């Protein structure tokens, strides 16, 4: 079991256009998500902005909130147009030490582009130390059993 998620999609565009649309037009296509509100005042408008020196690398991924305040989601770590984008990802409620990272790859497939998002670092999110197992909860236990079963299935044959 790894602590990252991998999601990809194929789009009818070349990698440079896909990269541009992803970075420059994100405010137009990004859907506010209730589960992942960056701040209590979200949603605002998300965008990638250059750093003080004008470079994209070292720039920021931000959300401009309805009141005009800017929340920094993370810094831009890699900026390779048509190829790769890496940026940090923190919600306002993340505790210190929690840090996740989003890596986006743009690969040509014929005259289309496969865009793959790899969002890792979820193992830095606190492991709840609830005394929950002292409270038998049928639903929870059933859920857990399913989880373990599926995890074991996925571990089978995996070289650890």
CA distance 137 to 140: 5
Least spacing, CB of residue 53 vs another protein, in Å: 28
Sign for the pseudo-dihedral over CA of 5, 125, 101, 38: positive
Of the pair 8, 55, the CB lying nearest another protein is at 8
- Could you tell me the smallest distance in angstroms from the CB atom of residue 87 to another protein? 14
Which range, of 28-36, 51-59, 65-73, 78-86, touches another protein by CB under 8 A? Answer: 28-36
CB 121 within 8 A of CB 99: yes
**Does 76 interact with another protein (rule: CB under 8 A)?**
no
Q: What binding mask, one character per residue, do residues 91-130 give for another protein by CB under 8 A, x or -?
A: ------x--x--------------x-x-x--xxxxxxxxx
d(CA 111, CA 27): 26
Residue 25 makes contact with another protein by CB under 8 A: yes
Comparing CB distances to another protein, the nearer of 79 and 106 is 106
Order of strands, sheet of 5-11, starting from the edge strand that comes earlier in the sequence: 5-11, 112-120, 100-109, 84-89, 70-80, 60-64, 45-49
- Give Dmax (Cα) for the chain: 57
- Closest separation in Å from C-beta 49 to another protein: 19
Instruction: Determine if 1 is a binding residue for another protein (CB under 8 A).
Output: yes
Q: How far is the CB of 122 from another protein (least distance, A)?
A: 5
CA separation for the pair 87, 121 (Å, rounded): 12
Q: Among residues 58 and 92, whose Cβ is nearest to another protein?
A: 92
């Amino acid at each position: 079991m790894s602590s990252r998620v991998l999601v990809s999609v194929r789009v009818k565009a070349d990698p440079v256009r896909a990269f541009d649309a992803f970075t420059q037009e994100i405010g137009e296509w990004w859907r506010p998500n209730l589960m992942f509100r960056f701040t209590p005042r979200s949603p605002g408008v998300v965008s990638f902005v250059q750093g003080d020196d004008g470079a994209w690398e070292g720039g920021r991924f931000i959300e401009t909130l309805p009141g005009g305040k800017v929340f920094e989601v993370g810094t831009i770590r890699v900026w390779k147009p048509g190829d790769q984008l890496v940026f940090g990802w923190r919600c306002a409620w993340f505790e210190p030490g929690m840090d996740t990272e989003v890596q986006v790859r743009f690969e040509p497939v014929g005259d289309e582009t496969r865009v793959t998002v790899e969002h890792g670092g979820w193992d830095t999110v606190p492991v709840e130390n609830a005394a929950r197992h002292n409270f038998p909860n049928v639903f929870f236990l059933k859920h857990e059993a399913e989880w373990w079963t599926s995890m074991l299935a996925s571990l089978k044959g995996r070289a650890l």
